[in-house]
Structure 1
């Protein structure tokens, strides 16, 4: 009888698993829950690296207004786009530095990555406090950072570094216990197959290449882009995602974004994406996302390394920590980008910013990892100095400015109130459901961190 019972239980389990198969339509694909590790991680590092890292040029905010015009990774397109408003800037730079006869493909001889040390990159990222990494496996230029059969003689093993850059970094990142993922451009600007026959490009190039990337390197994140040229039906996005969720080696753990067709952002896929606060759903101030979401941005104005940028073009450590606090308090993740040089170095200013973020996280990470937006928090407005996160019954009050008194409403009386990183007492007073926190008197020696401070209200959530 026991064996019969166990057999029936096994059959029921198998049947339940079978019912979880995802079909190649958005209703089914969108029903898949996003694995919890993603929302718990909160902070990731984006890495834009490719042939565009050789010219490493774009105008900056000082030169021209417009976020997308500052992206050095768009060098090839901006230089060739004769109708674009920034084309003359790129054309002048290219002709002066490289000459009119110098083709984009010629940059491959200078993309050597001779100073690339993946273990050092992984160490820098780990110390920043980030929990996942997203590397550009292939940007819109089509150059692959792994030995892709679909990009013969246009990948980092066949030419240039003659090295599996993606594979080497993946091994180093995973050794640190971090999640590893890949950005992948669905389209390629000047691929003849894409320009002449999109269907053949999708069937014979894009889908096989994506599947090779997944089966060979087993990513935790598949972060697609370049979807805007066609609807998801043309890209066969739901067919690929059904394979990813049903059959791939990462079907249980992988997360994907929302860039799968010109109609999909903030509507379909996995987590929703914003970029330099250019949001795609609702009002930027009081926006509510219906799914987990992630803000991506550079430390400067470009994703790829831009030699034109100077100190004032980079966000300060304080600004970056404030951005992290804001996004997490609103229920999102921050994917902060670094742009390595063509020879394989992470610029020192980017290393410094990441170190400062890591130092802050060492003190305050419990207010970030594994938290969710507090439902009773006041509506977000630009200029806010006080933010809230919640974990279980505990509420965290994050202030981006040192304040003598911090009011908190709509809570139960906390069991205890502490300032993270400070061992002394924090004085409070409670009236009804309103708490008043009095900041302790601290000195430069006793202050626990810089840039932002966190009070923990134990058991205060209603």
Structure 2
């Protein structure tokens, strides 16, 4: 039974709703105190949203008021979603961060509406201009609204006044960030609706700010560990926790110094998250370790580290020819730039070979630890384009340009490997002191100026790579010992600079962890089970990363099985090949790449664009998922050249249809206690579409531990209901 107090409250709400239907609200006071909103926010994970610095380009008046202090008048215009944002009392948070600024916020709201209503006669004057705003925030607008009406309202405002304008996208809870297709529509610009793209474009044309609120609340909820409903009071409105998401995002956007807790290590840039989604679609990449070290067939730069004796094995001819004299060996290694002359280098041949193998992205070593730059840097003369290198006069001497252009022309994603450590730079290995291990060889605290020169050098080289070589998808940083606190190169500034040139850039500060290791890179190994984050196994085709004349290569079958296992566990496979000193890919590598490509031509759809699905592997079959389709790729056993007569997939209790990839010959099946049994026809066993592994597309598959009813059970349930 309702109390008298509740009856009065409901009557007031009903009256307010009726008024809103005819006209609209003008709200001048916050419903919640600072203490109340802090209590709600304390229940939640911290917001890790950090806005871009260029947001102020179109909000100069607002920035000036926040910086100098004084009165800042703000009008929020929109529907009930704007009301939810306003109820968060975000302005109190903003004033707490800018104590010299006093904010007067007016929220003009009409439920279930948009700018098409506000453009009506006299409404812009009443709901906006009468309040003399410095900033007008138009939000809660959705696809039901139209861009022409938004343009009309902004035009009416600017006819009589000149406030800053900020457009905000998206209704709260309109998509489920845990649903893969919906998630992609939120974060991937290629999947944005025409309206959402148009709204951002309109903001640019009208010199208005743009906050993609929809993307940022979805990212927060996906990373929060909570279900979407925990933040909603009904299907389209936020509760007090959801209000705090909206409010804190807006407060961070309008803060001169956004508050991002140190504990935040998850990426929140929607462009980066979208790129990571596409990265996970690629599955198979081509890595290249190539440099002056390729002339000696040694283990890249590692022989230069005195204590790392494994880098100078007894079978390394360059080591034994110098009587194992480390000083002589080191001097001659550094001088290898004077003999590097790869006359048979052909970047297009590399790209075509990788494309033929079914690879979708590449990562090339622009500079290894030895400091020799494989491109036309202006930061050092230790480079391929310097006259000291015999290849410098070739039009192909800028290898990064040649390789990125060639691979990009074949549709590849582009990754640039860069070693943060540099054993040639005097700011890392200072010549006045001995250097025995891989680390900086002096005390940075005692010589901060020397370290500063190295940091400036690092930022300068990476800026060249990010600004002079076209679109780059991945900055792959090696040298994990270069990290705070002992070897701090200011990764926040470096990453921000790199992304200013390459929006959405994936930064892989490998082995360091935190915000700038956007995916993990297990080296020469495959995890035992799926990982709860984006990852990539980087592995050599032979025994070592760089060229070795007598290297031992993995077999084609080994490589295919590695690829299938990695993808089933949710990873990508970055397979490395070391070209020879003349610039050619070794023949054993080319043979394997061709054979892998033939297999991928048949089975690629079981890998590209898929995601892992439990139980990942059943029997000898690795599972992947694309939408509602399950792919089972059955790995051949030792000595097996064709599929067996029967293949059992344990745990599958039902399937509607089965198709073997690469053939139109139908496959029959039975469901037994042991699981799903595929019956392979003689025609397939005699002439299979491929070797090494065979992929099957399973439509409507359900597993024994799946509590959902099978199709047969659903039919029986429906029949039972009809009878009753």
TMscore range, shorter length: 0.7 to 0.9
- Aligned-residue RMSD, C-alpha: 3.0
d(CA) in 1 for partners of 2:359 and 2:166? 40
d(CA) in 1 for partners of 2:657 and 2:556? 30
Structure 2 counterpart of 1:390: 625
1:239 aligns with 2:493: yes
With over 3 angstroms needed to count, the CA separation of the structure-2 counterparts of 1:4 and 1:456, relative to structure 1, is closer
1:279-294 correspondence runs (5 A): 284-285=527-528, 287-294=529-536
**Aligned 8 A contact 1:52 1:73 in 2:** yes
Decide which of 366, 372, 375 is 1:143's aligned counterpart: 372
**Aligned 8 A contact 2:480 2:509 in 1:** no
Structure 2 residues not aligned, in runs of 5+: 1-118, 120-145, 155-164, 170-208, 214-248, 431-443, 445-449, 637-642, 707-724
- Deviation at residue 236 of structure 1 after TM alignment: 1.3
d(CA) in 1 for partners of 2:421 and 2:261? 21
- Deviation at residue 24 of structure 1 after TM alignment: 10
- Deviation at residue 30 of structure 1 after TM alignment: 2.7
- Deviation at residue 421 of structure 1 after TM alignment: 0.8
Structure 2 counterpart of 1:16: 211
Decide which of 187, 193, 199 is 2:451's aligned counterpart: 199
**Aligned 8 A contact 2:312 2:319 in 1:** no
- Deviation at residue 288 of structure 1 after TM alignment: 3.6
**Aligned 8 A contact 2:645 2:685 in 1:** no
d(CA) in 1 for partners of 2:519 and 2:274? 8
With over 3 angstroms needed to count, the CA separation of the structure-2 counterparts of 1:27 and 1:82, relative to structure 1, is closer
d(CA) in 1 for partners of 2:319 and 2:626? 52
1:53 aligns with 2:294: yes
SS at match of 2:168: helix
- Deviation at residue 122 of structure 1 after TM alignment: 1.0
d(CA) in 2 for partners of 1:305 and 1:143? 17
1:359-374 correspondence runs (5 A): 359-374=598-613
1:276 aligns with 2:546: no
Structure 1 counterpart of 2:341: 112
d(CA) in 2 for partners of 1:243 and 1:409? 51
**Aligned 8 A contact 1:26 1:268 in 2:** no
Structure 1 counterpart of 2:646: 405
Decide which of 162, 171, 177 is 2:411's aligned counterpart: 177
Structure 1 counterpart of 2:710: none
1:459 aligns with 2:700: yes
d(CA) in 2 for partners of 1:24 and 1:164? 41
Structure 2 counterpart of 1:69: none
SS at match of 1:212: helix
d(CA) in 1 for partners of 2:458 and 2:423? 13
- Deviation at residue 440 of structure 1 after TM alignment: 2.6
Structure 1 counterpart of 2:467: 215
Structure 2 counterpart of 1:63: none
d(CA) in 2 for partners of 1:207 and 1:40? 30
With over 3 angstroms needed to count, the CA separation of the structure-2 counterparts of 1:455 and 1:340, relative to structure 1, is same
Structure 1 counterpart of 2:572: 333
- Deviation at residue 255 of structure 1 after TM alignment: 1.8
Select between 296-305 and 90-99 the one with higher mean Cα deviation.
90-99
**Aligned 8 A contact 1:76 1:141 in 2:** no
**Aligned 8 A contact 2:375 2:385 in 1:** yes
**Aligned 8 A contact 2:538 2:573 in 1:** yes
**Aligned 8 A contact 1:325 1:387 in 2:** yes
1:24-173 correspondence runs (5 A): 27=264, 30-32=267-269, 33=273, 35=275, 36-57=277-298, 72-77=299-304, 80-82=305-307, 84-85=309-310, 87=312, 89=314, 93-96=318-321, 101=328, 103-151=332-380, 153-158=381-386, 159-162=389-392, 163-173=397-407
1:5 aligns with 2:150: yes
**Aligned 8 A contact 1:81 1:87 in 2:** no
With over 3 angstroms needed to count, the CA separation of the structure-2 counterparts of 1:398 and 1:11, relative to structure 1, is same
With over 3 angstroms needed to count, the CA separation of the structure-2 counterparts of 1:439 and 1:181, relative to structure 1, is same
- Deviation at residue 243 of structure 1 after TM alignment: 3.2
**Aligned 8 A contact 1:305 1:339 in 2:** yes
**Aligned 8 A contact 2:363 2:417 in 1:** yes
With over 3 angstroms needed to count, the CA separation of the structure-2 counterparts of 1:116 and 1:172, relative to structure 1, is same
**Aligned 8 A contact 2:511 2:520 in 1:** no
TM-score scaled by length of structure 2: 0.55
